[in-house]
Chains A and B, each alone.
Chain A
Amino acid sequence: MYSEATRPILSCAAMTCEMDSVSGPLQILQDINFTLAPRRALGIVGESGAGKSMLVKAIMGIAPKGLKTMGRIELEGQDLLALKPRDRARLIGRKVGIVFQNPMTSLNPFVQIGRQIEEAGCIHMGLSKAEARSRAIELLSFVGLPDPEDCYDYYPHQFSGGMKQRIMIAAALICQPDLLIADEATTALDVTVQKEVLDLLQTIQAERQMSMILVSHNLGVVAGRTDEILVLYGGNVVEYGPTAEVFRNPRHRYTEALLSAMPAMDQPAHTRLRTIPGQPPNLANRPAGCPFAPRCPSAQAICHEVMPPMSAGIHPDHRFACHFPLAELPRPAQQEVAHVQ
């Protein structure tokens, strides 16, 4: 049993998601395990179709109809899958704030933004009109909107993309959640605005002492902003560990390939980036063994037949699913933080 202070905010155990299709049930996510402690930040990375967004949606209970979630998802010790959908929605609305990928379509164009920020507070916390308004305005100025008093009555089309995403963040914070999820929250923004919004998220997480999940296909986004990182590939966790450790010493060959596909500052101009040949696995036709095996340069016969179990590295929290992991680097004398971006 955990004590109040160390009880994880969120934990997933043996979580599997299935979707019915014409060719039988599709395993969208397989055997996901992770825990997120209070005030920690978790990065979830993977390429398109790896199941990142589906994982978030399954946790939030807003997955498309027909998706069956099995296993155990606990939010502050409360088993979400055991709750009635209505109670679960209420609990999540109260405890978890979420910022989605596209700020252009995430705000209702017909509703004043003040209302969109405060509504969850009115419903979950019974805020009065005046309280809700003052809190919404406070949040608007907190996320950095000029003239929050006036903005309250504006409609979404009167703001730019970056501003809209700030408004979404304000709306996610109204119930003072314990966990903030940013699902590709900066992908649709241009690069300078991306950094501003990411920095804002990081500041908020630190100031409000929340836990955070940063979902991104961009390793640079999670580097330096998260404590742990979860690498998804084809609906499986392939590597999971402290961010610095994973960046310094990736053990799974997919993680390593992802890392070397990133441009680095010290490369000379016009260096060709390394790419990963092949395509992400087709979930309808899943290989029996490691999902990465068909694209892996070091794959052996066993990789195509047997799913590699999760094994631990020297660092006890660093785990990866690979039959032939990369060599373990000697531990540096003192822990250093990877700076990748």
Chain B
Amino acid sequence: MLNSAMPYFRAISTRLITGVLVFLLVTFSATALSSLAPGSAAQLILGDYATPEQIAALNAQYGYDLPVWQRYLSWLGDLLRGDLGVTLFSQQPILGVVLERAAVTFEIAFLAMAVSLIGIPIAMYTASHPNKLGDKVMRSISTVLLAVPTFVIVVLFSYLFAMVLRWFPATGWAKFTENPVANLWYVALPVLCLSMHQTAYLYRVARNEFVTTLQEDYIAVARAKGLPLGYILFHHALRPAMPQILTVMGLSLTYMLAGSFVVESYFAVPGIGWTILSAVKSHDIPLVQAILSLTVVIFVIVFMLVDLGYALIDPRVKVS
């Protein structure tokens, strides 16, 4: 048992080391970015009408006049001690803010992910009945969904579901921990809007993958054995198509985590995308940096899971 777990252990540790390197690179760049802006960072934060005294006070507090590497090292040291500081304006502890907002985005992204999985069975069905009516209809629908940008979908859906049908609220939020039912009610429209692209994308990739897989010799063998279509699809076609689907799911998840700000700002959902947007606008550098760090960690973890997923799905893939 230990022997079979060893390669996984090694694979995970090498990926973690790479992940740490990526993390350092991205967070350092984020620190450096604030120095690249014209004028000093303190000037940027305080605006054009700041007095030299205000700037000096901010520099004394946050060290924005120090060289980049010094600032970075001190930020890193604080991070290791678990201290991310406080937000510049509301002076709340950053860790708490980020975790609370991230939880909201995670909820939306994972639910949207779950919704988009519906694309897989649809892809299975249409791939096994190619060029029939269902296939043509689904292909057209997915093309339209992919062509319409999220910010248009958001407007259309909120008009349709919130204004006309009045099924879901147009804006607002309830915490899951306080009122789960209201939370799901509020989350429905953002999730639906966020999942549309992913569903269409996942559907298209999965359909093509199934069409290719269904042309394999071993599918002809399975058909010659007289196995029912459903059995062939689930036992012989699903697993070979999974690596590709998994890749898309990994990319979709990171896309949704990083790109949820459109949906979040439209529906006034207090998620991470909305937070980073306002943090960037108000030059809240510590907050931006904290969110970037979290995003990097999530990306590294997601891609690591996808890699491990390949090894679990395909017996020919050796981990390491």
Q: Which residues of A contact B (CB under 8 A)?
A: 60, 62, 86, 89-94, 96, 98, 100, 102, 105-111, 115, 119-120, 123-124, 155, 157, 168, 171
Contact partner, A90, options B216, B217, B226, B235, Cβ 8 Å: B226
In the assembled complex, the Cα of A108 lies from the Cα of B220 at a distance in Å of 11
A107 proximity list for chain B (CB < 8 A): 218, 221
- Mask, B87-115, CB within 8 Å of A = 1, is 00000000000000000000000000000
List B residues 121-172 near A (Cβ within 8 Å). none
**B interface SS class:** helix
B315 proximity list for chain A (CB < 8 A): 109-110, 155, 157
Contact partner, A111, options B217, B220, B224, B236, Cβ 8 Å: B236
In the assembled complex, the Cα of A107 lies from the Cα of B239 at a distance in Å of 14
Check B231 for interface membership: any CB of A closer than 8 A.
yes
B236 proximity list for chain A (CB < 8 A): 108, 110-111
Question: What's the least CB distance linking B217 to chain A, in Å?
Answer: 4
Contact partner, A92, options B218, B224, B235, Cβ 8 Å: B224
B217 touches A100 (CB 8 A): yes
In the assembled complex, the Cα of A98 lies from the Cα of B314 at a distance in Å of 26
9 further interface pairs, Cβ-Cβ under 8 Å (given A89-B227, A106-B218): A92-B224, A93-B226, A100-B221, A105-B218, A106-B221, A111-B239, A119-B227, A119-B235, A168-B221
Known: A110-B315, A157-B315. A62 touches B220 (CB 8 A): yes
Please name the residue on chain B nearest to A109 by beta carbon: B316
Known: A105-B217, A108-B240, A109-B240. A62 touches B313 (CB 8 A): no
A91 proximity list for chain B (CB < 8 A): 226
Check B52 for interface membership: any CB of A closer than 8 A.
no
B220 proximity list for chain A (CB < 8 A): 62, 100, 106
B314 proximity list for chain A (CB < 8 A): 109-110
A94 touches B224 (CB 8 A): no
**A interface SS class:** helix
- Mask, B228-251, CB within 8 Å of A = 1, is 100100011001100000000000
* Tally of chain B residues near chain A (CB < 8 A): 21
A93 proximity list for chain B (CB < 8 A): 224-227
Cβ-Cβ contact count across A and B, 8 Å cutoff: 73
A102 proximity list for chain B (CB < 8 A): 217
In the assembled complex, the Cα of A111 lies from the Cα of B239 at a distance in Å of 9
Q: Which residue, of B220, B225, B228, B231, has the highest number of chain A Cβ atoms within 10 A?
A: B225
Q: Which residues of B contact A (CB under 8 A)?
A: 216-218, 220-228, 231, 235-236, 239-240, 313-316
Question: What's the least CB distance linking B239 to chain A, in Å?
Answer: 4
Question: What's the least CB distance linking B4 to chain A, in Å?
Answer: 13
Q: Which residue, of B216, B217, B316, has the highest number of chain A Cβ atoms within 10 A?
A: B217
B226 touches A92 (CB 8 A): yes
In the assembled complex, the Cα of A91 lies from the Cα of B224 at a distance in Å of 10
A110 touches B240 (CB 8 A): yes
Question: What's the least CB distance linking A181 to chain B, in Å?
Answer: 9
A110 touches B227 (CB 8 A): no
In the assembled complex, the Cα of A93 lies from the Cα of B217 at a distance in Å of 16
B223 proximity list for chain A (CB < 8 A): 62, 89
Please name the residue on chain A nearest to B219 by beta carbon: A108
Q: List 26 A-B contacts (CB under 8 A).
A: A89-B223, A89-B226, A89-B227, A93-B226, A100-B224, A105-B218, A106-B218, A106-B220, A107-B218, A107-B221, A108-B218, A108-B222, A108-B236, A108-B240, A109-B218, A109-B315, A109-B316, A110-B236, A110-B240, A110-B313, A119-B225, A120-B226, A123-B226, A155-B315, A155-B316, A171-B221
A60 proximity list for chain B (CB < 8 A): 224
In the assembled complex, the Cα of A47 lies from the Cα of B150 at a distance in Å of 57
In the assembled complex, the Cα of A69 lies from the Cα of B225 at a distance in Å of 20
Question: What's the least CB distance linking A106 to chain B, in Å?
Answer: 5
In the assembled complex, the Cα of A87 lies from the Cα of B157 at a distance in Å of 46
Question: What's the least CB distance linking B314 to chain A, in Å?
Answer: 7
B227 touches A120 (CB 8 A): yes
In the assembled complex, the Cα of A90 lies from the Cα of B227 at a distance in Å of 7
B240 proximity list for chain A (CB < 8 A): 108-110
Question: What's the least CB distance linking B237 to chain A, in Å?
Answer: 9
Question: What's the least CB distance linking A170 to chain B, in Å?
Answer: 12
Please name the residue on chain A nearest to B131 by beta carbon: A65
A92 proximity list for chain B (CB < 8 A): 224, 226
B216 proximity list for chain A (CB < 8 A): 105, 108
In the assembled complex, the Cα of A107 lies from the Cα of B225 at a distance in Å of 12
A98 touches B224 (CB 8 A): yes
A123 touches B316 (CB 8 A): no
Q: Which residue, of B220, B221, B313, has the highest number of chain A Cβ atoms within 10 A?
A: B221
Q: Which 8 A-B pairs have the closest CB atoms?
A: A93-B226, A105-B217, A110-B239, A155-B315, A108-B218, A120-B225, A89-B226, A93-B225
Question: What's the least CB distance linking A66 to chain B, in Å?
Answer: 11
Question: What's the least CB distance linking A232 to chain B, in Å?
Answer: 20
